[in-house]
Amino acid sequence: MTDASAAFVAAFAGEPAGRWAAPGRVNLIGEHTDYNDGFVLPFALGQRVVAAAARSPEPGWTVCSDFAPEPVTFTSTEIGAVQGWAAYVAGVVWALHDAGFEVPPARIAITSDVPVGAGVSSSAALESAVLTALVDLGGLDLPVAARPALAQRAENVYVGAPTGIMDQSASIRCEQGRALFLDCRTLEVEQIPFDLAAAGLAILIINSNAPHQHVDGEYGARRRSCEEAARILGVPALRDVHPGELDEALTKLDDEVMRRRVRHVVTEDQRVLDTVEQLRAGRIREIGPLMTASHASMRDDFEITVPEVDVAVRAALAAGAYGARMTGGGFGGCVLALIDADRAEATTAAVERAYAEHGFTAPTTWSATPGPGATRLP
């Protein structure tokens, strides 16, 4: 990662007023539950977006990044027309304006080491870094707890991706050494201690390197199916179907595919609650079977996995992982495996062997520990 301050100096020939960082995330458990008003349990990665920024003497915003050759400039009259990666930046400016804030004109230089297209929220990290920078630069009165919804609006309304609130919440509200237990209806959070090293454990992240896309039909189709099911069942959201009432609820749905979608969401919410209970009691290994059950549910009921992630999960489990699952929106992206800390190399080798046997592009792996959420850097 090039230093964002150096990138700022090179692009704008002046010093930035500060640097703001926001991380990517992985979700420990609770997939496609956020837009059903349910529960999620992500933690922040060490990989992050850094925005070096300063107020601009001219009106409008200019933003450059280490992942695009040209800077992008827009003013408040052109704000709706920005395309590509800079749309996430313009979307944040737009959402702040739309919420009635006077957004300071700014110059922003962005660097990132969050892998793009890996399902670890590089776009939410970008939104969150820019939002945190603009709020501080402008002295805007926007409490931390209200920021994720604003960044989510940038993504939903401006960029046009119908995502839930998990990723922006994770990037903004996560804390080091903890997983973020978020109730996506009330937006209440509990910071759950998640000290892997003290338990002799590690989370191995396996990037399947299979292409991953959100702004496509599949994510939206899952979301519509869930919303339609809630309408038929007469509940505000699938969060309101309790596991004990699931069988009866399923009898009210004619469509077999819709029944499976509902079963995933209702059982997944319960797995999040069970995971939180185990972690509160300090039983980290015991969350393994819940992770693996979550994967099976995503594969068989929600149908959002691909062969690359299924093979990674199988190989990690065969190599002794306590549990393994795909994380994120699906159709590619990363797998998390809960392993003994000294098994990272052996597990990686087992997954690489399985990938070679299947003729898949080699995976990329690293061990993750929960890092801090969005912040101004010293």
Q: Check if the beta carbon of residue 95 is closer than 8 Å to that of residue 154.
A: yes
155 in a known ligand binding site: yes
Structure-token pair, residue 252: 């009210």
Distance linking the first and last C-alpha atoms of the chain: 18
Query: Which lies closer to ligand GAF via its Cβ, residue 91 or residue 328?
Result: 328
Q: Which ranges in the chain belong to alpha helices (H)? A: 4-12, 86-98, 122-138, 147-153, 166-173, 217-233, 246-251, 256-280, 288-300, 307-318, 344-358
122 in a known ligand binding site: yes
Q: How many residues bind ligand GAF (CB under 6 A)?
A: 11
Structure-token pair, residue 319: 């190599």
Query: Which lies closer to ligand GAF via its Cβ, residue 127 or residue 167?
Result: 167
- Which residue matches tokens 């006077």? 102
335 in a known ligand binding site: no
Query: Which lies closer to ligand GAF via its Cβ, residue 197 or residue 215?
Result: 215
- Which residue matches tokens 């699938």? 238
Q: Applying CB under 6 A, does 329 fall inside the site for ligand GAF? A: yes
Among 23, 323, 328, 370, binds ligand GAF (CB under 6 A): 328
Neighbours of 66 (CB within 10 A): 16
Site string for ligand GAF, 23-62 (x = CB under 6 A): ----x---xx-xx---------------------------
Three-class SS of 165-227: CHHHHHHHHCCCCEEEEEECCCCCEEEEECCCHHHCEEEEEEECCCCCCCCCHHHHHHHHHHH
Report, in Å, the least distance between residue 275 CB and ligand GAF: 14
Among 128, 163, 208, 292, binds ligand GAF (CB under 6 A): 163
18 in a known ligand binding site: no
Report, in Å, the least distance between residue 118 CB and ligand GAF: 11
Closest of 342, 338, 243, 334 to residue 287, by C-alpha: 338
Closest of 349, 326, 373, 360 to residue 29, by C-alpha: 326
Q: Which residues of 26-54 are buried (b: 16+ CB within 10 A; e: fewer)?
A: bbbbbbbbbbbbbbbbbbbbbbbbbbbbb
239-298 residues near ligand GAF, rule: CB under 6 A: none
Query: Which lies closer to ligand GAF via its Cβ, residue 27 or residue 292?
Result: 27
What's the count of helices (H) and strands (E) in the chain, helices before strands?
11, 13
Report, in Å, the least distance between residue 30 CB and ligand GAF: 7
The catalytic residues are: 167
Report, in Å, the least distance between residue 155 CB and ligand GAF: 7
Report, in Å, the least distance between residue 3 CB and ligand GAF: 28
Report, in Å, the least distance between residue 167 CB and ligand GAF: 5
Query: Which lies closer to ligand GAF via its Cβ, residue 212 or residue 343?
Result: 212
Among 38, 115, 148, 164, binds ligand GAF (CB under 6 A): 164
Closest of 30, 93, 24, 20 to residue 50, by C-alpha: 20
Among 19, 89, 92, 167, binds ligand GAF (CB under 6 A): 167
32 in a known ligand binding site: yes
Query: Which lies closer to ligand GAF via its Cβ, residue 207 or residue 348?
Result: 207
Q: Which residues are annotated as a binding site for ATP?
A: 117-123
Binding residues for Mg(2+): 123, 155
Question: Which residues are at the interface with ligand GAF (CB under 6 A)?
Answer: 27, 31-32, 34-35, 163-164, 166-167, 328-329
Binding residue ranges for substrate: 31-34, 219
